[in-house]
Amino acid sequence: MSRDIYDIAIIGAGPAGMAAAIEADRRGASVVLLDEQPRPGGQIYRNVGIATPRQREVLGQDYAKGDALVTALERSGAKHLSDITVWQITGTGRIAYSRKNQAEQLEARQVIVATGATERPVPLPGWTLPGVLTAGAAQILMKSGGLVAEDAVLVGSGPLLYLIAAQMVAAGSPPKAMIETQTGSDLQAAMKHLGGALRGWRYLAKGLSLIAQLKRAGVRRYTGAGDIKVLGSDRAEAVSFTWKGRELRIETDTVLLHQGVVPNTQITRSLQLDHRYEEDQRCFVPVTDTFGLSSSPIVSVAGDGAGIGGAAVAALSGQLAALGALHRLDLITNETFETSSAPILETRAKELAVRPFLDRAYPPSQQTLKPVDTTIICRCEEVTAGDIRRYAALGCKGPNQAKAFGRSGMGPCQGRYCGLTVTEILSAENGISQQETGALRIRSPIKPVTLGELAAYQEEEHA
C-alpha cells in the first residue's frame, strides 16, 4: 500500500509539539502533528482554544499564553491529526496509529517526540481509593470538564500544587487544607541555588505571589508533614498525617496528590533510545543533545519528555528540535540553523535557571520514594512495596525481572505509575544505582489497540 511520507512527524500537540510544528512548517518542511486529544494544547493548554471567559479567569494568564501557539498552529500548513492514538513507532520512522477505530500508518524522515510529562507516582496508603486523584487531574477537570474540586485536600509538594490551589481559590472553592511534604531542610539545601533562582526571578515571584494568595484566602498549610494516609473503605473519607509531632486527621472525600511531574518516556523507551537516570529530578530522561536529538539519528525529543522544564522551555525546545531536524534534512542552511538557534538557546538557558532551586526545594517525599511494605505501588496488578522488597531478597535486580516475578508493570498502564517506584525500591534494597537498576522495557502497542484494528492493519501490511 502507499502511505504518506512526511519530512517531520511530531508526536504530541502540547507547547513543544506545537512550536516544533509551526517552526518546521514555516521553513518549508512537510509536517504532520499527531495527538490524542481533540484539540491542540497538550495538558498545560488543554482546551485553551474553546475556554470560556470564566475558565480563563480561573486558570489565569499563564494558561492564556497557549492562545498564541494554538492560533499559529491553526494558521500553519502543518497537518494536525487529532483524536488519534499512536501505538507504535519504529526506528525507521514508521508510525502506526488508530483513528476512529481504524489502524493507519505513516512515515517520516525525522520524528520529534513531544509527549510531555506525567505525574510522578505518589504511592501512599489509600492512594487507589475512588476520590483520590492527581492534582493535575483536578486541573484537567477545570480545563476540560468545567469542574472544580470542592473541600478537597491537596497532598504533596511542588510549584504546581500552589498553582492549582490558587486556581481553586479563584474558582471560589479553596482547598480545605494543603498537606505539604517538603521540609525546612529541603529549602535550606535549595538555597545554594538561589543565584539561579534569582536569574529566573519571574518564576520565583510567581510562586511567592501564589503562596500569598493562598494565605489571603485562609488556606491552611501543613508543611513538613509525614506518614500521610488516605483513609476510607470504598472511597476516600479522610487524610491522616503527622505534623510537628502531632497526629492529625482531616475529613474529605476528595484528595489531590502531587509530587512533581516526570518525563513521559513510554515512546522513547519503546524505541530503545539511550536513557539516563537524572539525579536532580529523580527520574529517567532520554539522552539528548542540545537540540533534543536522541541516540537515534532520526528521533528528537522536545519538551518535558526530555527533562522537566515547564511550558515556556518546552516551546523553545520544540523550536530547537525542529531546527535540528530541518538542518539534518538539508531544508535549512548551516547559517540559518546557527543564527536562528542562537537566541533561542540563550532564552532557554534563562528560563531553565530556576530549575535546580525548585528541584531541591520540592523533592519527592521520602515516604513515596520508600513506601512502607503494605503500600500498593503497582495500581493495576496491586503489587505492594513489600512484594518488591521480597523479590529483591530473592535476587531480583531490575524492574523487568520484578515484572516477571510478580506482574508489577504488566497491567494496562504498562508501568506508567509504578515503574519509577520499582526502580527506587530495588535500587535501595540492592544498594545499586537507579541507573544500573534501570527502567521497564516498553513494547508496542504502547497504548491498547483492539484485535480488529490490529487485524485490519496487518492486512494493509501484506496488501
Partner 1 sequence: MFTPLETASGRQVTFNFDGREFTAQEGTPLAAALLGAGVSEFRSTPVSASPRGPFCMMGACFDCLVQIDDVTVQACMTPVRDGLVVKRIPRPDVSAEPHDSAPQGSENSREALRA
Stretch that binds partner 1, among 53-61, 66-74, 271-279, 309-317 (CB under 8 A): 53-61
**Closest distance between partner 1 and the C-beta of residue 285, in Å?**
17
Is 55 a binder of partner 1 (CB under 8 A)?
A: yes
What distance in Å separates the CA atoms of residue 166 and residue 183, rounded to the nearest whole number? 21
Is 407 a binder of partner 1 (CB under 8 A)?
A: yes
What distance in Å separates the CA atoms of residue 424 and residue 388, rounded to the nearest whole number? 10
Cell of 172: 471560589
Is 382 a binder of partner 1 (CB under 8 A)?
A: yes
**Which residue carries 528521533 as its cell?**
299
Is 119 a binder of partner 1 (CB under 8 A)?
A: yes
Nearer to partner 1, 148 or 321 (CB): 148
* Residue from 413, 428, 432, 456 binding partner 1 (CB under 8 A): 413
Subset of residues 424 to 443 that bind partner 1, contact rule: CB under 8 A: none
What distance in Å separates the CA atoms of residue 67 and residue 170, rounded to the nearest whole number? 21
Nearer to partner 1, 275 or 416 (CB): 416
Number of residues that bind partner 1 (CB under 8 A): 59
> Could you tell me if 453 and 98 are in contact, meaning their C-beta atoms sit under 8 angstroms apart?
yes
Nearer to partner 1, 128 or 435 (CB): 128
Is 104 a binder of partner 1 (CB under 8 A)?
A: no
**Closest distance between partner 1 and the C-beta of residue 276, in Å?**
22
Is 91 a binder of partner 1 (CB under 8 A)?
A: no
Is 417 a binder of partner 1 (CB under 8 A)?
A: yes
Nearer to partner 1, 29 or 170 (CB): 170
Nearer to partner 1, 150 or 186 (CB): 150
**Closest distance between partner 1 and the C-beta of residue 386, in Å?**
9
**In 168-298, which ranges are E strands?**
177-180, 221-222, 226-231, 238-243, 246-251, 255-258, 261-263, 275-278, 283-286
What distance in Å separates the CA atoms of residue 295 and residue 293, rounded to the nearest whole number? 7
Is 296 a binder of partner 1 (CB under 8 A)?
A: no
- The DSSP output letter for 1 is -
What distance in Å separates the CA atoms of residue 252 and residue 234, rounded to the nearest whole number? 13
* Residue from 76, 264, 368, 437 binding partner 1 (CB under 8 A): 264
Stretch that binds partner 1, among 15-23, 24-32, 140-148, 202-210 (CB under 8 A): 140-148
Q: What is the four-CA torsion angle of 434, 437, 443, 449, rounded to 10 degrees?
A: -60
**Closest distance between partner 1 and the C-beta of residue 402, in Å?**
10
Q: How crowded is residue 226: how many other Cβ atoms within 10 Å of its Cβ?
A: 13
Per DSSP, the three-state class of 42 is coil
Query: Could you give the string, one character per residue 383-402, with x where binding to partner 1 holds by CB under 8 A and - elsewhere?
Result: xx--x--xx--xx-------
Is 405 a binder of partner 1 (CB under 8 A)?
A: yes
**Closest distance between partner 1 and the C-beta of residue 147, in Å?**
4
| CB neighbour list of residue 167: distance below 8 Å, 6 or more residues apart | 58, 59, 60, 139, 142
Q: How far is CA 2 from CA 30, 101, 107, 162, 457, in A?
A: 17, 20, 10, 50, 13
Nearer to partner 1, 105 or 128 (CB): 128
Nearer to partner 1, 322 or 402 (CB): 402
Is 146 a binder of partner 1 (CB under 8 A)?
A: yes
Per DSSP, the three-state class of 316 is helix
What distance in Å separates the CA atoms of residue 289 and residue 346, rounded to the nearest whole number? 15
Amino acid in position 445: P
* Residue from 4, 62, 74, 151 binding partner 1 (CB under 8 A): 151
* Long-range CB pairs of 171-176, under 8 A, 24+ apart, other chains included: 171/58, 171/142, 172/148, 173/148, 173/149, 174/214, 174/217, 174/218, 174/219, 175/149, 175/151, 175/219, 175/256, 176/151, 176/152, 176/220, 176/250, 176/252
Where does this chain bind partner 1 (CB under 8 A)? 36, 38, 43, 52, 54-55, 58, 118-119, 128-134, 136-137, 140-142, 144-151, 171, 173, 234-235, 253-254, 264, 379-384, 387, 390-391, 394-395, 404-407, 411-413, 416-417, 447-448, 450
